[in-house]
């Protein structure tokens, strides 16, 4: 394909459900991007690699020698090749040094490692793939990262992350999104829920219930009880359940960091999910700011490629 400015790097944010591709000029500016529902949950292993290469064929054929760097679930056992985890604390240099690199088809390919974090208090090692690259982009956009006490990436498996200067220092995952989907689709609770437009009042009521009642297993049955007894409508209960689950998550995450020391949380996610977490945090007197996850993923891919010398250093231009 004709390029207005010749690319020097392709970056892929290759996740569970979607993939986003970025073409970078030598300045680091994103000169083209595209996305598709070709994540590893839809097309795993080599079948997914074939699909993605077909999807990117016009880019790859037009620029046959430039390197490709990828992050996310592409580096998992369900992806292309397994990229090992880097343990916290994880600076950009550790991620660059831990790149899984190989030559294929006349070009260099690289996969960003995930990040692991052991917590003696939790008793296990937590992990993430993809979010670390967004964080590298955020760190490179200082002083934006310095104003955040915690960072949350809301989605199916929510990551609560703490930065220490230019290092990823802490990680905790909460399966709130998946739990909501399971309850809605595969439980008796789901039978009383009705899809409906956003109901902030019901959502905040769910958050407040989580604040007052820590017995979450009991309160989950309360969703069904409220519906059966007609105490709440199915429309309202859908958002009440969302608020209840998010309320329990937010309380646990904040309590792990001495709640009274957390002033501002950065949210890296979709607008609808960020809206829910902003409401929940606001109800607990915590400020939050929504951040552009795609832009920071692109910036992170570029910064890691620079650090790993996949591309040479040039002044970076980043669109606001």
Does 193 lie in the same domain as 75?
no
pLDDT, tens digit, 9 for 90 and up, residues 34-50: 999 999 999 999 999 99
Give domain status of residue 165, yes or no: no
Show Cβ contacts of residue 317 under 8 Å, excluding neighbours closer than 6 positions.
Answer: 27, 28, 29
Does 266 lie in the same domain as 299?
no
> What's residue 221's pLDDT?
95
Does 95 lie in the same domain as 57?
yes
In whole angstroms, how large is the CA radius of gyration of the chain?
Answer: 21
Integer Cα distance of 74 and 87 in angstroms: 19
Give domain status of residue 150, yes or no: no
**The overall pTM is greater than 0.95:** no
Helix (H/G/I), strand (E/B), else coil: 222: helix
Does 297 lie in the same domain as 287?
no
Do 129 and 16 meet the contact criterion of CB atoms below 8 Å apart?
no
Give domain status of residue 157, yes or no: no
Domain that holds residue 18: 9-145+293-307
Helix (H/G/I), strand (E/B), else coil: 107: strand
Does 280 lie in the same domain as 195?
yes
Residue 320 confidence class, pLDDT cut points 50, 70, 90 = very low
Angle between helices 200-212 and 234-255 (to 10 degrees): 50
Strand order of the β-sheet with 19-24 is: 30-36, 19-24, 9-14, 68-72, 107-111, 100-104
Give domain status of residue 129, yes or no: yes
Partner residues linked to 11 by β-bridges: 22, 69
Residue of 211, 205, 198 lying closest to 275 (CA atoms): 198
Cβ–Cβ contacts within 10 Å for residue 61, how many? Answer: 9
Do 132 and 153 meet the contact criterion of CB atoms below 8 Å apart?
no
Using alpha carbons only, what angle is made at residue 269 by residues 188 and 177, rounded to the nearest 5 degrees? 15
Does 90 lie in the same domain as 103?
yes
Does 117 lie in the same domain as 47?
yes
pLDDT, tens digit, 9 for 90 and up, residues 79-137: 999 999 999 999 999 999 999 999 998 999 999 999 999 999 899 999 999 999 999 99
pLDDT, tens digit, 9 for 90 and up, residues 249-292: 999 999 888 767 889 999 998 888 899 999 999 999 999 999 98
> What's residue 318's pLDDT?
47
Does 105 lie in the same domain as 223?
no
Residue 313 confidence class, pLDDT cut points 50, 70, 90 = low
Q: Strand 158-164 relative to strand 150-153: parallel, antiparallel, unpaired?
A: antiparallel
Give domain status of residue 151, yes or no: no
Give domain status of residue 152, yes or no: no
By the 10 Å C-beta count (0-12 exposed, 13-18 middle, 19+ buried), 172 is classed as buried
Phi/psi for 79 (5° steps) reads -95, -140
Does 88 lie in the same domain as 40?
yes
Integer Cα distance of 274 and 75 in angstroms: 26
Give domain status of residue 33, yes or no: yes
User: What CATH number does the domain containing 40 carry?
Assistant: 3.30.420.300
Give domain status of residue 130, yes or no: yes
Integer Cα distance of 266 and 154 in angstroms: 10
Do 171 and 126 meet the contact criterion of CB atoms below 8 Å apart?
yes
Residue 314 confidence class, pLDDT cut points 50, 70, 90 = low
Locate all alpha helices (DSSP H) within 22-141, ordered by sequence. Answer: 45-55, 57-62, 92-97, 131-140
Residue 307 confidence class, pLDDT cut points 50, 70, 90 = very high
Does 92 lie in the same domain as 13?
yes
Residue 317 confidence class, pLDDT cut points 50, 70, 90 = very low
Does 95 lie in the same domain as 217?
no
User: What CATH number does the domain containing 227 carry?
Assistant: 3.30.420.310
Domain count of the chain? Answer: 2
Does 53 lie in the same domain as 179?
no
Q: Strand 107-111 relative to strand 68-72: parallel, antiparallel, unpaired?
A: parallel
């Amino acid at each position: 394909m004709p390029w207005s400015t010749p690319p020097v790097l392709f970056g892929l944010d290759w996740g569970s459900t979607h993939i986003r591709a970025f073409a970078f000029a030598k300045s680091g500016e994103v000169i083209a991007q595209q996305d598709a529902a070709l994540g590893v949950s839809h097309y795993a292993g080599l079948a997914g690699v074939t699909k993605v290469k077909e999807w990117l064929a016009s880019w790859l054929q037009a620029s046959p020698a430039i390197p490709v760097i990828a992050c996310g679930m592409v580096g998992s056992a369900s992806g292309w090749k397994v990229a090992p985890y880097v343990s916290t604390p994880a600076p950009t240099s550790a991620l660059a040094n831990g790149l899984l690199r190989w030559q294929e088809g006349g070009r260099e390919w690289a996969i960003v490692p995930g990040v692991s974090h052991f917590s003696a208090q939790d008793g296990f090692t937590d992990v993430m793939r993809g979010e670390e690259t967004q964080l590298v982009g955020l760190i490179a956009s200082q002083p934006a990262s310095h104003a955040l006490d915690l960072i949350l990436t809301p989605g199916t498996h929510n990551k609560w992350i703490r930065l220490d200067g230019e290092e990823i220092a802490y990680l905790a995952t909460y399966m709130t999104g998946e739990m909501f989907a399971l309850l809605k689709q595969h439980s008796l609770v789901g039978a009383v829920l009705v899809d409906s437009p956003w109901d902030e009042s019901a959502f905040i009521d769910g958050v407040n219930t989580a604040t007052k009642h820590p017995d979450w297993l009991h309160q989950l049955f309360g969703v069904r009880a409220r519906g059966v007894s007609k105490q709440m409508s199915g429309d309202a209960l859908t958002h009440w359940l969302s608020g209840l689950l998010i309320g329990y998550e937010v309380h646990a995450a904040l309590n792990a960091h001495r709640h009274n020391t957390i002033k501002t949380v950065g949210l890296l996610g979709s607008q609808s999910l960020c809206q829910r977490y902003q409401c929940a945090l606001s109800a607990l007197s915590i400020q939050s700011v929504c951040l552009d996850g795609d832009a920071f993923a692109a910036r992170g891919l570029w910064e890691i490629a620079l650090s790993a010398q996949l591309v040479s250093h040039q002044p970076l231009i980043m669109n606001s």
